[in-house]
């Protein structure tokens, strides 16, 4: 077990480059708010009569999301193949980037955060695919191009579709990676199907190593109120994301996709991860990499300490990052993950 809090390497950049990087932080706001709203959804589920399907609220909303999704996908390398994999709970939209000269035979499988879909990996995918074959899923029961046909009753169901998709793709051992709610899902898969994983990587996982911090709910409540002025809502979102109002760039393709998913998709009774018990953490048999943010983290205040209960774990707090750690850490994170995977074939 190791813990690393060393700073990522940075270089001086021209003012215009810094400005562009600063404005790219807009998706941070969106990823944080949808992560918090996903946990708030637990309350809404108490008033439902039973499990329900995730769905787009209107055809127009779906069209807006798909348009933004397609635009964001075009910023990524073209996948080798696109498949809709059949499972008990619906079809899983799967993209494959095949590397014929992969460093080993164990592929990486990516699970996205809430309301984001596969294009959220745009900053990370090129480096991952440069070394090994990569599979990326849109989650069943969340925005994306997967199609849900049967409700997910609990986390057993939510992990089962992942297991069935891996089986359909003939993937026996994988490096499973998840961000935010996808990190919670990936960890739940590791608990239930440990034989599937060569390693587990979780990036700012929510509801896994601790509860979402209480401070965020006030701004979340304001941002969620119907009928409030757009400027108030935007200001609340920016406070949650730790950015100034003038930093936002709503035309960023990823930002448009996440915003459209959060606005137009209802996740129904999508099961939420729950914090692992000490016994569950101690029983994880595979190597685990945990990446946490020092600022605006949603993994829980004691996440680093809880993670140390895992027998074979590498924990790193990435400086100058928030909940959108995969985007912000970028290449240094990508390189470190490749070293981690290469050490655990």
- Count structural domains, the chain: 1
Instruction: Return the pLDDT at 180.
Output: 92
Q: What is the mean pLDDT of residues 172-187?
A: 96
pLDDT digits (tens, 9 = 90+) for 120-160: 999 999 999 999 999 999 999 999 999 999 999 999 999 99
Between CA 60 and CA 56 the distance in angstroms is: 9
Range of the domain at 228: 2-337
Task: Examine residue 277 and state whether it is found in any structural domain, yes or no.
Answer: yes
90-97 and 134-137 strand pairing: antiparallel
- 102 inside domain: yes
The answer to whether residue 143 sits within a structural domain is: yes
Least confident of 19-33, 171-185, 217-231, 256-270: 19-33
Q: Are 265 and 112 in contact (CB under 8 A)?
A: no
Decide if pLDDT at 41 tops 80.
no
Higher pLDDT, 228 or 331: 331
Task: Answer yes or no: is 192 within a domain.
Answer: yes
Q: At what angle do helices 26-45 and 230-241 cross, to 10 degrees?
A: 100
- Residue 342 inside a domain? The answer is no
Banded model confidence at residue 267, pLDDT cuts 50, 70, 90: confident
343 within some domain:
no
Cα separation, 94 vs 117, in Å, equals 11
298, part of any domain: yes
pLDDT score recorded for residue 71 = 96
Report pLDDT digits (tens) over 4-16: 654 444 344 444 4
CATH code of the domain covering residue 103: 3.40.50.1820
Is 95 a domain residue?
yes
Is the pLDDT score of 43 beyond 80?
no
CA distances from 255 to 69, 161, 261 (A): 10, 27, 10
What pLDDT is attached to residue 90? Answer: 98
Contact assessment for residue 26 and residue 249, using Cβ atoms and an 8 Å cutoff: yes
Among the listed residues 93, 94, 82, 139, the one whose alpha carbon sits nearest the alpha carbon of residue 116: 139
Work out the burial of residue 230: count CB atoms within 10 Å of its CB; fewer than 13 is exposed, 13-18 middle, 19 or more buried: exposed
pLDDT in tens, 206-264: 999 998 777 666 776 676 565 668 677 667 766 665 556 666 676 788 888 887 887 78
C-alpha–C-alpha distance, residues 297 and 323, integer Å: 5
What DSSP state is assigned to residue 206? S
């Amino acid at each position: 077990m190791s813990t690393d809090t060393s700073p990522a390497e940075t270089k001086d950049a021209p003012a215009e480059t810094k400005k562009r990087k600063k404005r790219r932080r807009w998706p941070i706001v969106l990823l944080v708010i949808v992560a918090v709203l996903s946990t708030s959804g637990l309350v809404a589920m108490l008033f439902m009569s039973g499990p329900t399907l995730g769905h787009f609220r209107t055809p127009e909303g779906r069209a807006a999301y798909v348009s933004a999704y397609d635009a964001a996908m075009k910023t990524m390398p073209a996948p080798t193949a696109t498949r809709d994999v059949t499972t008990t709970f619906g079809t899983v939209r799967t993209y494959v980037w095949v590397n014929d000269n992969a460093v080993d035979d164990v592929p990486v499988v990516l699970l996205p955060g809430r309301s984001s879909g596969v294009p959220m990996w745009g900053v990370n995918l090129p480096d991952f695919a440069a070394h090994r074959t990569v599979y990326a899923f849109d989650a069943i029961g969340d925005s994306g191009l997967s199609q849900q046909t049967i409700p997910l009753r609990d986390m057993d169901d939510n992990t089962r579709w992942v297991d069935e998709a891996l089986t359909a793709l003939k993937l026996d051992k994988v490096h499973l990676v998840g961000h935010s709610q996808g990190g919670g899902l990936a960890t739940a898969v590791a608990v239930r199907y440990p034989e599937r994983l060569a390693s587990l990587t979780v990036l700012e996982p929510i509801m896994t190593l601790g509860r979402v911090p209480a401070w965020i709910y006030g701004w979340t409540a304001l941002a969620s109120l119907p009928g409030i002025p757009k400027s108030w809502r935007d200001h609340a979102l920016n406070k949650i994301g730790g950015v100034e109002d003038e930093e936002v760039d709503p035309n960023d393709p990823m930002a448009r996709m996440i915003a459209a998913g959060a606005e137009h998709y209802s996740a129904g009774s999508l099961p939420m991860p729950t914090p692992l018990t000490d016994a569950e953490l101690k029983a994880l048999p595979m190597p685990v990499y945990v990446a946490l943010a020092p600022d605006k983290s949603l993994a829980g205040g004691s996440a680093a300490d809880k993670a140390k209960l895992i027998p074979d774990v590498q924990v790193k707090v990435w400086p100058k990052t928030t909940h959108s750690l995969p985007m912000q850490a970028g290449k240094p994170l990508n390189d470190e993950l490749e070293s981690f995977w290469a050490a655990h074939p």
